[in-house]
Amino acid sequence: MLEIGIIRNQKERVVEGYHKRNLPETAIQELDVIISLDDERKSVQTSLDATLAESNALSKEIGDLFKAGKANEVAEKKEKVAALKEMTKELETKHKEIKDRIEEKLLSLPNVPHSSVPKGKTPEENEVFKAWDKSFPSLHADALPHWELAEKYDLFSLSLGVQLTGSGFPVYKGKGAKLQRALISFFLDEATNAGFQEIIPPLLVNRHSARGTGQLPDKEGQMYYCEKDDLYLIPTAEVPVTNLYREAVVPVESLPIKMTGYTPCFRREAGSYGADVKGLNRVHQFDKVEIVVIEHPDKSYDTLMSMVQHVEGLLEKLELPYRILRLCGGDMGFNSALTFDFEVFSAAQQKWLEVSSVSNFESFQANRMTLRYKDTDGKNKLAHTLNGSALALARIVASLLENNQTTDGIVIPEVLRRYTGFDKI
């Protein structure tokens, strides 16, 4: 949720940013509506506070009269307070109504893109921030896509998942299962070695948490929901891990707070279809190691770059061909101010697969969940939050299988062998 102060004081920057996102003019006009609603809110509060002050004073006088034994003089004052109370009620209702309307409008506005974000509507307009300048792996003639490799080596099965649950819920088996576990351990070890504290969070969250990181109301339809208990299955570890600091005030010295967590992720992916959903390209349940940072506003962009480097390191170590994109305004998520996407090249499918997304949300999430730090001047200020996948498993597995296939098996990257215990599938 955008800070109302930013809308009031930096309106030009907001408008410019929204143009980069290609928002319709009606969305931009909302800014003025919000400002005038906020003006109204202020003036209503001024009268409300004055009315309350008057009743408070009268009540005190009534108390004093009772004590002085002048109960007979009380009636008139009581009537006055009763009249004030009517007024208070009206003003309170109005005040709440305006506040709710402002909140509702603020919730519907996306974050303001960072100045480096390119204008654009579609993924094609994303900027290649770092291209792959080495050669792609050359596969043998009978190279297979990962879903066929899975069958050939009995690594995972989507049809068994259908039997148990439905489409998009893979069942990993044998070396396929071990490979999952190896990747998770590898990613977690890399993150903890880089100073991220490991967290194992719950996989279901309440609506406050879903709202805190911005999944609600924006992505309600993308989450699995347990109606009976009013809980959501997490679409990413970002949700529980960031919400550990919901409504917290942390000392400035404790920044940055660096956390990592492995969780399965659940996504309904409503509306997806076609070739993109083949194999592990798009599934409803996948494993992911996430990194989350709570940072001082002055340092959040340096931190973003160090997170990008961390993810790059992982892909280097896995020896996968990758590139980094700086997302354009139109392709960037609702909450983000700047996002770098990582894509790995799948040699057998001949296409790039998104395996990580690293973003700075600035104060957008922090404002929604009131996550603050106590500054050296003693004031509480909104922190910045950042997160990134490091990494999402299913597509890494897909590209690993495809890129590393040879005529006599699939080669496991060197760094993973101590986790898998085998060097070839």
Partner RNA sequence: GGAAGAAUGGCAGAGCUGGUUUAUUGCACCGGUCUUGAAAACCGGCGUACCUGAAAGGGUACCUGGGGUUCGAAUCCCUAUUCUUCCGCCA
Regarding 56 and contact with RNA (CB under 7 A), the answer is: yes
Regarding 306 and contact with RNA (CB under 7 A), the answer is: no
3-state secondary structure of 242: helix
23-42: which residues touch RNA (CB under 7 A)? Answer: 41-42
**Nearer of residues 9 and 115 to RNA, judged by Cβ:** 9
Residue 143 and residue 148: Cα distance in Å, rounded?
10
361-420: which residues touch RNA (CB under 7 A)? Answer: 372, 378-380
**Nearer of residues 41 and 326 to RNA, judged by Cβ:** 41
**Contact in structure between 230 and 204 (CB atoms under 8 Å):** no
Adjacent-strand bridge partners of 199: 261
Query: How far from the centroid of its chain's Cα atoms is residue 80's Cα?
Result: 52
Q: Is 27 exposed, middle or buried (0-12, 13-18, 19+ CB in 10 A)?
A: middle
Shortest CB 205 distance to RNA, Å:
13
Regarding 82 and contact with RNA (CB under 7 A), the answer is: yes
Candidate residues 45, 222, 285, 306; the one interacting with RNA per rule CB under 7 A: 45
Regarding 58 and contact with RNA (CB under 7 A), the answer is: yes
Nearest to 292 by CA among 198, 380, 204, 155: 198
Regarding 53 and contact with RNA (CB under 7 A), the answer is: yes
Regarding 49 and contact with RNA (CB under 7 A), the answer is: yes
Regarding 274 and contact with RNA (CB under 7 A), the answer is: no
Regarding 208 and contact with RNA (CB under 7 A), the answer is: no
Regarding 275 and contact with RNA (CB under 7 A), the answer is: no
85-114: which residues touch RNA (CB under 7 A)? Answer: 85
Helix H segments across 25-157? 25-67, 74-107, 146-153
| Binding-residue total with RNA (CB under 7 A) | 27
Candidate residues 6, 15, 35, 48; the one interacting with RNA per rule CB under 7 A: 48
**Contact in structure between 339 and 358 (CB atoms under 8 Å):** yes
Crossing angle of helices 300-317 and 174-193, rounded to 10°: 140
Query: Which tokens in the block code for residue 371?
Result: 């996550």
Query: Which tokens in the block code for residue 181?
Result: 């576990």
Binding residues for RNA, rule: CB under 7 A, are: 41-43, 45-46, 48-50, 52-53, 55-60, 62-63, 66, 78, 81-82, 85, 372, 378-380
